[in-house]
Amino acid sequence: MALNEINFALGPEKMLATISERYADRDFLLYKAIAKQNEYLLVDISDQGSVFETGLNYRVLKEIGTDDWDGLLELRYVTLDTDQQKVFNAVVDSWVNPAVRPTGLKTSKLLISLKKDFQFLLMNVWEDEADYLAWNDSPENKVAQFGHDGNQAPVDKLYNRAN
C-alpha cells in the first residue's frame, strides 16, 4: 500500500495507548526506543490527516522494498539543500535494486517534513539490529555523509516494535 502521509507521536506508553484507543479506526504502530527506556513512538500509517499535536508530520516522497513493519525501525533525520537532495536521492534510489540494497533492509521510506523545508526523514525497517549496525559502520553507508541542522552527523533513532 503506497502511503502519502505518515505522522508520529512520542511519549510514554500509557499516553500513546490512550491515543490509540481513542482513534481505534486508525492504523497505528507502537515502537519502543532502544536508547531510552521509557520512550515510545506511535506511528500513524492510516494515510489521513494527523490526530497528533506533535507537529511530526511527513509527506512520503518514495518507498522502496516491502511494506513489512516488523523489525528494527531506524529514523534518520537529515537536512538537505537542493544539491544534497540530488545525491541523497540517487543513493536511496539505488536501493530499488535488491543487489545494491543494504543487507537486511526490508523497507525504506523517504519523507519530507510538512512543517520545515529541507528537513527529511529516512525511515528504514531492518531485519534486526545486527544488519543495521553492520551497514551503519561500513563504507557502504553512503547516507552517512549527510547531517542534520548544521551538524555533520544525522540524528539517528532506533526502535523495536512494541505491539
Residue among 162, 133, 144, 152 at smallest CA distance from 30: 162
Task: Output the CATH code of domain 5-161.
Answer: 3.30.70.100
d(CA 27, CA 47): 9
Residue among 54, 43, 53 at smallest CA distance from 5: 43
Q: How far apart are the first and last CA of the chain?
A: 20
Residue ranges per domain, the chain?
5-161
Determine if the pTM surpasses 0.75: yes
Q: Cell for 53?
A: 499535536
Residues of the chain with pLDDT under 50: none
Report residue 88: phi and psi, to 5°: -60, -45
Note the pLDDT tens digit of each residue in 97-135.
Answer: 999 999 999 999 999 999 888 999 999 999 999 999 999
pLDDT the model gives residue 54: 80
